[in-house]
Chain A
Amino acid sequence: MKTTNGLARIILFTAPIIIVSVIFLSIAYGAKGITLATIWEAFTAYNEEDVNHAIIMTSRLPRVLSALLVGAFLAISGAIMQGMTRNYLASPSIMGVTDGSAFVITICMVFMPELPSISMILFSMLGSAIGAGIVYGFGSLIKGGLSPVRLAIIGTVIGTFLSSMSAAIASYFQVSQNVSFWYNAKLHQADPDVFLMALPFGLVGLILAIIVANGITILSLGEEVSVTLGQRTRMVKVLSMLSVICLTGTAVALVGKIGFVGLIVPHITRFLVGVDYKVLIPCAGIIGGVFLALCDILSRFVNAPFETPIGVITSLIGVPFFLYLIRTRGGGRHA
C-alpha cells in the first residue's frame, strides 16, 4: 500500500510539469512547426499581427486544453462508473452515455438550430442521462443484466440504436453535415468560446467526483458492505451519476464521441495507484488528460499532413486492451 501511494504522490506532484510539457509539445508540432521561443513569446508578449501567435491562441492552445480536459473528464467518469457498478467494463462510450448525448444533440440541431452553445451543453448532459437511464433500465429489467458482460452488450446495442436513430433523423432533415460535426471527434475544431462555457459544468462534475470519492471506495467493496458501514448508498449513487452526467455531457459537447479513454485509463490508474478512489480519481484525471493529448499529437503524425480522427487512434490502442480485459476477466463479477 505504501509503495502504491508513493507512486500516486509521484503522479500528482509531477503532473504540472508533465502537463505543461505536453501543452508545449502539442503547440509546437503540427502542420506548421512552431518554435518554443515563439510559443513563449505568444504567452508573454502577444502580438495580434503575428500569424504564429494567432495560430497558437485561436487554434493550438484551445485544442490541447480541450484534449486535456476531455481526457480527464472521460477517465474520471469511467473510474466512477466502474467503481459504482463494480463492473470492469463500465465506461461512458460502452454504456451508451456518449451516444445518448449525441442523439439529443442531433434532435436539438434539427428542431432548435438557433440554440446557443450553452443550452447545447445542457442538452448534451440531458442526453447522457437518457442514454445511461435506458441502458441501466434494461440492465435491471433483465435478470443478471447488470453483470459486466450483459451490461456491456446492452450498452453497445442501445448505443447502436441511438446512433442509427440520430443518423436517420439527421438525414431526414438534411442536417447530416452539421451533425456529423458533433458526432465525430472534432478536437481540431475546438472552439475557445464553447470551451470557456463548458468549463464550469465540467468543474461541477469534478467537484462532485471528489466529494463522492470516499463513498465510491466503499461502494466498490459491495452494496452490502456499504450499507453495513452506515453509508447512505443511494445518496452516493445519485451524486456519482450526476457527476458522470456532467463530465460526459461536457466532454461530448466539447469534442464529440471519443471511445475507450474512459475504459482503459481507470484500469491503468488502478493498477498504478490502487483502489482508493480519493487518490484514484485525480490520478485518473491526470493520466486521462495526458493520454488524450498525446493521442491528439499522434493523430497529426499518423497520416501527415492530414489529420486522423482521434477516435481512430484511441480505438487502435483501446481495442487490444479491451480484448485483454475480456480475456483475463471473462464474465466474472468484479470491479
Chain B
Amino acid sequence: MHKEGKKTVITMLVLTVLILISMYISLTYGVFELTIRDVFRTIFRIETNADFELVIFDFRLPRIVIAALVGLGLGIAGAVIQGITRNGLADSGILGINAGAGAAIVIFMFFFQDQVQGSGWLSVMIMPIFGLIGGLIASLFIFFFSWKNGTFDTGRLILTGIAIGSGFGALSMYISLKMKASDFEMATVWVSGSIYNANWIYIASMLPWLLILIPIIYKKAYLLDLFQLEDISTKSLGIAVEKEKSILLLASIGLVSACVSVSGSIGFIGLMAPHIARQLVGINHRHVLPVCGAIGMLLVVVSDFIAKNVFAPAELPVGIVISILGVPYFLFLLVKSRA
C-alpha cells in the first residue's frame, strides 16, 4: 500500500510538470509570440501592456483553463463510468451521454436564449443544469435498453450508446437548423467539441460542479474498487450497491454535463485517461482517480494546442483532434482485450 502511494505521488508530480509545461507552451506560442518574461510580468502585474493583457487574459488563459477543467472532469467521470459498468470500453462519448447533454443544451439555446438574453450570466450558469437533464435522459434510455435478464451485456451497452448518440445527434442537428443563422453557427461549432470561444463566465459556470462533485466521487472511490467484485459479494459486505452506484453515476453524469455545456461533445478522454492511469498506478481507485484527472487535463490541453496551432490560421474543433488520437487507442484496446 505504501509503495503504491509513493508511486502515485511520483506520477502526479511528473504529470503536474508536464501539464505546466504544456500550459506554458500553449500560453506563449501562437500567432502572437510571447516570451516567458512577458507572461510573468503580465500575470503578476509587474508591468502592464494592453496587448499582452488582451492576449493572455482574454484569449489564451481562459481557453487553457477550460481545457484543463474539461479534461479533469471527463477523465474522472470516465473512470467512474468504467468502474460502475465494469466495462473497459465505456466512455461518456461512446455511450451517448455527451450527445444527450448536447441535445438538451441545443434545445435550451433554441427556446430560452431570447428570454434570458439580458442576463448573459444567468443563462450561461443554468446551461449545465439543462445538460444534466439531457445526460440523465440519455443514460436512462441506455440503461433501459441494455438491461436484459438482470445483466448488462458489454456489446449491447455500447451499441445502445451508439444508437442513442446518433439519435440525439440528429435531434440537435434538427433543432439547430431551426435557429437563427448566427445561433446556428455557434451551435454547430459547439456541438463538434470546441473551446475556442472560451471566456471566464464559462469557467465560473462549470467550476462549482467540479468543486462539489469531485470530492463526493473521491470520497466514494473505495466503493469503485468493491464494485469490481460480483454484485452479490459487494452486497454481502453490507453496501447498498444500487444506491451507491446511482449516486456515483449521477455525480459522473453531472461532471460530464458541466463539461459538455462548456466545450461541446468531446469524446474518448473518459476512455483513454482511465486506461493510462491504471497502467501507471494500478487498480486502486483512490490512486487512479487523481491520476485520471491529471491525464485528462494533459490530453485536452495538448489536443487543444494541436487544434489551435497545427493548422493555423485555420482552427480545428478540439473534439476532432481528440477522436483522431482516441480511435486508434480504442482499437488497440479492443485488439488487446481479446488477445
Name A's B-contacting residues (CB within 8 A).
89, 138, 141-145, 147, 149-150, 152-154, 156-158, 160-161, 164-165, 167-168, 171-172, 174, 259, 302-303, 306, 308-309, 311-312, 315-316, 319-320, 322-323, 326-327, 330-331
Contact = CB atoms under 8 A, between A and B. Distances in A.
A156 B335 contact: no
Contacts of B156: 149, 326-327, 330-331
28 contacts: A138-B334, A141-B335, A142-B334, A142-B338, A143-B338, A144-B338, A145-B334, A145-B338, A149-B158, A150-B155, A153-B159, A160-B327, A161-B323, A161-B327, A167-B192, A168-B321, A168-B324, A171-B311, A259-B166, A302-B174, A312-B174, A312-B177, A315-B169, A316-B167, A319-B170, A322-B163, A326-B146, A330-B153
Given A143-B339, A327-B148, A308 B314 contact: no
A150 B178 CA distance: 36
A321 B21 CA distance: 49
Interface string B302-339: 00000000010011110011011001101100110011
Given A142-B335, A171-B311, A330-B156, 5 more contacts: A150-B334, A154-B331, A319-B170, A327-B148, A331-B155
Contacts of A165: 324
A145 B158 CA distance: 15
B163 A167 contact: no
A315 B167 contact: yes
B324 A164 contact: yes
Indicate the member of B156, B162, B170, B327 with the most A CB atoms within 10 Å.
B170
B178 A303 contact: yes
A165 to B, nearest CB: 6
A154 B160 CA distance: 14
Among the interface residues B89, B166, B171, B330, which one has the most CB atoms of the partner chain A within 10 A? B166
Contact of A153 (B177, B314, B334): B334
Contact of B163 (A309, A311, A323): A323
A326 B163 contact: yes
B109 to A, nearest CB: 17
B162 A153 contact: yes
Given A150-B155, A154-B331, A315-B166, A303 B177 contact: yes
Nearest to B324: A164
A311 B170 contact: yes
B314 A172 contact: yes
Indicate the size class of the contact surface on chain B. 35 or more
A165 B326 CA distance: 12
A28 B127 CA distance: 43
B106 to A, nearest CB: 13
A307 to B, nearest CB: 9
B112 interface: no
B169 A161 contact: no
A326 B153 CA distance: 11
Interface in B134-174: 145-146, 148, 153, 155-156, 158-160, 162-164, 166-167, 169-171, 173-174
Interface string B42-66: 0000000000000000000000000
A144 B154 CA distance: 14
A114 to B, nearest CB: 22
Interface of B is mostly: helix
A252 to B, nearest CB: 18
A65 B335 CA distance: 43
Nearest to A184: B173
Contact of B145 (A259, A323, A331): A323
B331 A312 contact: no
A156 B330 CA distance: 11
Contacts of A311: 170, 173
Nearest to B311: A172
Contacts of B331: 138, 154, 157-158
B338 A168 contact: no
Nearest to A152: B159
Given A142-B335, A156-B162, A312 B170 contact: yes
A138 B316 CA distance: 28
Contacts of A259: 166
Contacts of B155: 147, 149-150, 153, 331
A309 B327 contact: no
Contacts of A308: 174, 177
Given A142-B338, A154-B331, A160 B314 contact: no
Nearest to B306: A168
B91 to A, nearest CB: 11
B176 to A, nearest CB: 10
Contact of B316 (A160, A167, A303): A167
B324 A161 contact: yes
A171 B331 CA distance: 25
A114 B169 CA distance: 34
B146 to A, nearest CB: 8
Contacts of B330: 157
Nearest to A176: B314
3 A-B pairs closest in CB distance: A149-B155, A319-B167, A315-B170
A266 to B, nearest CB: 17
Contacts of B335: 138, 141-142
Contacts of B171: 316
Given A157-B330, A323-B163, A327-B148, A168 B173 contact: no
A33 B338 CA distance: 58
Contact of B166 (A152, A153, A319): A319
A273 B295 CA distance: 54
Contact of B158 (A141, A153, A322): A153
Contact of A316 (B170, B178, B320): B170
